[in-house]
Amino acid sequence: METIGQQLKKRRLENKLSLDDVYQSTKIRPRVLSALEEDKAEDYLSQVYIKNFLLCYAKFLGMDGQRIVKEYLNSHPLTSSPLSSSLKGVKVPFVFKNLKSGIVFILFFIILLVIIFFIFRSRHISPVLKGEKENLEAVRVITQSAEEIGFPKIERKQRLNLVLRAKRKVWIQVKSDGKVVFEDVLKKGDIERWLADDSIELWIGDGSALELELNGKHLGSPGTGVIKNIIITRQGMKIGGK
């Protein structure tokens, strides 16, 4: 029985299409297409992206996209993280009962120092927080500013849908829900789309080289120069230091 990847590759070759031909129409990068055809996409993509790419690729080739996705899910059920999977069946001995009193005392002392540190730190931070009303006003103004720039209101049931348009050559890294899903150089005119359930994080070689669109709302360029830790959630967009 042919694998999903073999089915996709066979149909593409029957249509006399190269991977670059598919990329030009679907905007799915050739290395992703190649991974799908080789049934190796799970090596560096989450299952959420694999399902979306399979659906898009299959429909482009004139295949039943829903059937392809269903077949993929039947053969690749949702799995736990590699760490949790590797720990299944491992028995952890209960070593605390064998600890000597001296070790227990050291642990207690360390915990006490941590508590004292946070108490000391809170007392020194508190003077900065004088004028609670003024602070609340500042928060309100920041919230209004976010609304004024047209940041979209995204319901909980909606996924984050980010579109990046490259105005010139630029390097980017994209994390979807904490997992790196893209790290490459975009060329002028490239358009990429990324989905996430909770957050999207960007690192950009030059912020002015990109235009951002989130769930249909145009956000413009995030800034100039190298920009790290652009975190996009339903609540707004936080831009880290350069």
Which three-class secondary structure state does DSSP give residue 161?
strand
Which three-class secondary structure state does DSSP give residue 156?
coil
Residue 164 pLDDT class (50, 70, 90 cuts): very high
Phi, psi of 116 (to 5 degrees): -60, -40
Question: How far apart are the C-alpha atoms of 239 and 227, rounded to whole Å?
Answer: 8
Residue 101 pLDDT class (50, 70, 90 cuts): low
Write the pLDDT tens digit of every residue in 185-196.
889 999 999 899
Angle in degrees, CA 205, 209, 215, rounded to 5: 100
Write the pLDDT tens digit of every residue in 16-64.
999 999 999 988 989 899 999 998 888 778 888 888 899 999 999 999 9
Q: Per mean pLDDT, which range of 76-80, 171-175, 205-209 is the poorest?
A: 76-80
Write down the pTM of the prediction.
0.43
User: From the CB of residue 207, how many other CB atoms can be counted at a distance below 10 Å?
Assistant: 20
- Report pLDDT for 211: 92
pLDDT of 143 above 90: no
Fold matches, 4-75 and 160-239? no
Output the six-digit token pair for 45.
């993509």
pLDDT of 100 above 60: no
Domain boundaries, the chain: 4-75, 160-239
Question: How far apart are the C-alpha atoms of 239 and 233, rounded to whole Å?
Answer: 12
Residue 123 pLDDT class (50, 70, 90 cuts): low
pLDDT of 162 above 80: yes
Output the six-digit token pair for 164.
């990046």
Which three-class secondary structure state does DSSP give residue 209?
helix
- Report pLDDT for 205: 87
> Which range, 87-101, 151-165, 194-208, is most confident?
194-208
Superfamily of structural domain 4-75? lambda repressor-like DNA-binding domains (1.10.260.40)
Q: Please, where are the H alpha helices in the chain? A: 4-14, 19-26, 30-37, 47-60, 65-75, 82-86, 101-125, 132-148
CB 170 within 8 A of CB 210: yes
Output the six-digit token pair for 174.
């994209």
* Dihedral sign (CA 115, 112, 124, 242): negative
Question: How far apart are the C-alpha atoms of 89 and 71, rounded to whole Å?
Answer: 30
Q: To which residue do tokens 């920041």 refer?
A: 142
To the nearest whole percent, how much of the chain has pLDDT over 90? 31
- 211 beta partners: 165
Closest C-alpha among 41, 77, 44 to residue 56? 41
The pLDDT mean for the chain works out to: 78
- Report pLDDT for 78: 59
Closest C-alpha among 235, 222, 52, 219 to residue 154? 235
* Dihedral sign (CA 177, 182, 185, 189): negative
pLDDT, average across residues 177-206: 90
Closest C-alpha among 216, 193, 211, 204 to residue 27? 193
| Architecture of the CATH domain 160-239 | Sandwich (2.60)
- Report pLDDT for 125: 45
